[in-house]
């Protein structure tokens, strides 16, 4: 592997040799996104042989393979994955620059792409969007929905301008910058008619024999529930259903027989309607910081900065102490 290829794999390319056509990098990104040279060629308006030749020329210029080809499609090598990630980040910066230029000219305020977690889509983001429309009706917002495991890579790759979700108490990813906006708590959730919902206090041991629908184990709330059981000297729950869908978790609990462990914000409207209730578990309450995550390098476009300001403005209305930046 030559020096340039090693630099790409390490994630710190400072310059691209003049014989490398940036269009070939964009074509590589399309192939990776589609998972197929044929599909990518169709999207790009090229023939499949022409696209294959372009990527081979890129590999020749770099001195390293960037794409693995197999019977079931294509996938990036380590160097290819790093190159595509940088390409996406550059695209994000160019979009931000275009928005900024539009703002300087007094033109359309642009578009912001935001990643949003399920709890934040319940009240925080809708309230911010309402405030944003009142102050800046020309701005357009695209919202991509997901849990943290999907949102954080999207921020790193520049696929979203910012993400609105749980943020860590201590930053661990040097590429990401977090800003806490408010604090949410997580609760054991039951249908209003569930026997445990009417109790004044429920011991952790009484939860062990229940039917559960939960997020997967690496999600923050699931780890917190596991800790609750471990601290009580109990074995963590072996959930009957595990899912990445917050909507499915609520829907299963609304059937009346299952419990879940969810952020309180996520059940705000169902709780107000008397459909779901928090179960009063005799254990320390778990809380999480909710806020904005963005890439550390680069700056927000005027559109993204306007959305961030709107989020800061409405967050105190949700209650709970506000975190620091």
Q: 27-31, 122-126, 167-171, 312-316: which range is least confident on average? A: 167-171
> What are the structural domains of the chain?
3-85 (1.10.10.10), 109-182+289-318 (3.40.190.10), 184-287 (3.40.190.290)
Residue recorded with tokens 């074509």:
27
**Phi/psi of residue 227, each to 5°?**
-65, -40
Beta-bridged to residue 186, according to DSSP, are: 263, 286
Angstrom distance (rounded) from CA 222 to CA 220: 6
3-class secondary structure, 208: coil
Please give the distance of CA 122 from its chain centroid, rounded to a whole number: 15
d(CA 52, CA 54): 5
Query: Which pair of tokens denotes residue 37?
Result: 């040279």
For residue 193, pLDDT over 80 is answered with: yes
Entry pTM = 0.65
- Percent of the chain past pLDDT 90, that is, above it, reads 44
Residue labelled with tokens 């959930």: 239
Please tell me which of 7-11, 17-21, 147-151 the model is most confident about, judged by mean pLDDT: 147-151
223-258 pLDDT, tens digit each? 999 999 999 999 999 999 999 888 999 999 999 899
Nearest to 127 by CA among 315, 300, 262: 315
């Amino acid at each position: 592997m030559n020096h340039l290829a090693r630099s790409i794999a390490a994630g710190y390319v400072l310059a691209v040799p003049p014989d490398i056509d940036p269009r070939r990098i964009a074509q590589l990104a399309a192939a990776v996104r589609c998972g197929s040279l044929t599909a990518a060629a169709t999207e790009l308006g090229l023939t499949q042989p022409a696209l294959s030749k372009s990527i081979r020329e890129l590999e020749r210029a770099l001195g390293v393979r960037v794409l693995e080809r197999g019977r079931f499609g294509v996938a990036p090598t380590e160097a290819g994955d790093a190159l595509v990630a940088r390409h996406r980040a550059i695209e994000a910066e160019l979009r931000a620059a275009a928005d900024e230029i539009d703002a300087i000219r007094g033109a359309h305020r642009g578009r912001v792409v935001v990643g949003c977690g399920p709890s934040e889509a319940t009240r925080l983001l809708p309230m911010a969007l309402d405030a944003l429309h009142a102050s800046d009706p020309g701005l357009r917002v695209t919202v991509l929905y997901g849990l943290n495991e999907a949102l954080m890579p999207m921020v790193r790759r520049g696929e979203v301008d910012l993400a609105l979700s749980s943020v860590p108490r201590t930053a661990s990813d040097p590429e990401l910058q977090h800003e806490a906006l408010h604090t949410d708590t997580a609760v054991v959730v039951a249908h209003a008619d569930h026997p445990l919902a009417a109790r004044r206090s429920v011991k952790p041991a009484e939860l062990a024999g229940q039917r559960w629908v939960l997020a997967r184990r690496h999600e923050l709330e699931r780890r917190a529930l596991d800790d609750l059981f471990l601290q009580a000297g109990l074995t963590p729950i072996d959930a009957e259903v595990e899912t990445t869908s917050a909507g499915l978790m609520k829907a299963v609990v609304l059937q009346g027989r299952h419990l879940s462990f969810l952020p309180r914000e996520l059940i705000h409207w169902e709780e107000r309607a008397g459909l779901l209730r928090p179960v009063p578990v005799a254990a320390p309450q778990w809380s999480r910081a909710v806020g904005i995550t963005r890439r550390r390098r680069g700056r927000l476009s005027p559109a993204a900065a306007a959305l961030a300001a709107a989020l800061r403005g409405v967050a105190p209305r949700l209650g709970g102490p506000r975190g620091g930046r």
